[in-house]
Chains A and B, each alone.
Chain A
């Protein structure tokens, strides 16, 4: 009995904690935007961050994109073949990738690859007192550390997701047409006919929002990490979990707005 009450209590407490976190993230996004406007432009640091986060995630994005497109094509073919509508494969693959899977899977992979490294890096900068060192050299560490990273993720994620989309659709085409024998003309024609500019724009809006979200949450959690090796490890896990959940929730909200 008490065990159950305790478990329920724990669940309730964690739920409230999560709500509080989400509230924190909302206020944080606002203050981050203010920080972005107030900070001096740091082109060089942004380029360095795009290199570390964007270029660094390229390989994993290409691989994920390719396999997503391939499995969508395979799965979609067997479903559509039952209704004699294999010709719809192109649009099925393209629409799923552009509207949902590209932004969401891409952003989740980038969270795992780049988001975790942002949190860990900032956490380590705290442990090794590099943040204080910046402060002692009259550099606002929040502006210097957080701002370039948020800009870098907000810019890199849409670019990475665009690459994910194109590779995914290409891989879907190869599996559908070369392996399963769908007519190449109808694959492409269906795709061009069914995908509208609106679909593509929805994808972009999602990509930009996810990029911003990754930047805000991962920098924040890294910056607030308990400055110990253990604290940084915990913060990194936490950053990935919270960002991933946040992406899925935001995805639902954005989808319901644009459908």
Chain B
């Protein structure tokens, strides 16, 4: 469905993504795991065509998103939905208008039909009856559910999730996770989930990609990741503070820094 070929993303000196290859399979959930700064959100945005990679190709059903005109990209967007990290509801519109937004903008459907669709989508995320609320009146979990309803309002083939559980309480997080699982299993959608939440990520994944400092260090089924012998993978999955990914980010010698900093105690050597 989506295939990233040797994606290179360069912000300044160090590459944020270094020749990343990812395959997103149709009607399955692909989870991209990685720590903060691993480049996973950038990768997701490249897959959705929001960001142009410095180099490489993004094949979406046989079309290279990085090299097609905007008009065609917008046509392809009817097959994509996205749930942003902070929900990104349009704050001037209420819940109903947010969910109905794409339908109002792009479809010639009758308002009564749109109303039916919106009601169905809100029912699916358990928020039917809250159509009149404004985004500012919603809790983080509810906003995320509305964002999900909005993403699936146009029945896309693929839905992108950027950190779906971050900033949510355990119950809200569980709700979102189970909604994602349902969507893939019952509605046969393709999901791409970017997260640093190992447990949640592994529990819904059909396929896992583990990113570390802009490079793919492991991919495969969740069991394979859990049972991996790679030290870096183990450290990430188990959440150990120190290991091959070092605790200390300093590159200079501690003793040297202490000795040469003015005002610090001089050690007799």
**Chain B 68-94: CB-based contact to A (< 8 A → 1; otherwise 0):** 001000110110111011111111100
Chain A residues near B86: list those with CB within 8 A.
128-129
| B91 in contact with A133 (CB, 8 Å) | no
Task: Kindly provide the distance from the CB of A129 to the nearest chain B CB, expressed in whole angstroms.
Answer: 4
Q: Does B106 contact A (CB under 8 A)?
A: yes
A136–B76 Cα distance when bound, in Å, is 10
Q: Which residue of B has the minimal Cβ distance to A137? A: B102
Chain A residues near B105: list those with CB within 8 A.
137-139
What is the interface size of chain B, counting residues whose CB is below 8 A from a CB of the partner?
24
Knowing A138-B77, A138-B78, say if A133 contacts B106 (CB, 8 Å).
no
| A130 in contact with B90 (CB, 8 Å) | yes
Q: How many A-B residue pairs have CB under 8 A?
A: 46
Range class of the A interface residue count: 10 to 19
| A136 in contact with B91 (CB, 8 Å) | no
**Chain A 180-200: CB-based contact to B (< 8 A → 1; otherwise 0):** 000000000000000000000
Q: Does A251 contact B (CB under 8 A)?
A: no
Specify which of A130, A138, A140 is in contact with B106 (CB 8 Å cutoff).
Answer: A138
Q: Does A132 contact B (CB under 8 A)?
A: yes
Q: Does A135 contact B (CB under 8 A)?
A: yes
CB under 8 Å from chain A, chain B span 201-258: none
Q: Which residue of B has the minimal Cβ distance to A130? A: B88
Chain B residues near A128: list those with CB within 8 A.
86-88, 91
7 closest Cβ contacts across the A-B interface? A129-B88, A133-B88, A138-B74, A138-B77, A129-B84, A136-B82, A137-B102
Further 12 A-B residue pairs, CB within 8 A, beyond A128-B88, A138-B74: A128-B86, A129-B88, A130-B91, A132-B50, A132-B84, A132-B88, A133-B88, A133-B89, A133-B90, A135-B50, A137-B101, A137-B106
Contacts from B to A (Cβ < 8 Å): 45, 48, 50, 70, 74-75, 77-78, 80-82, 84-92, 101-102, 105-106
Contacts from A to B (Cβ < 8 Å): 48, 128-130, 132-140
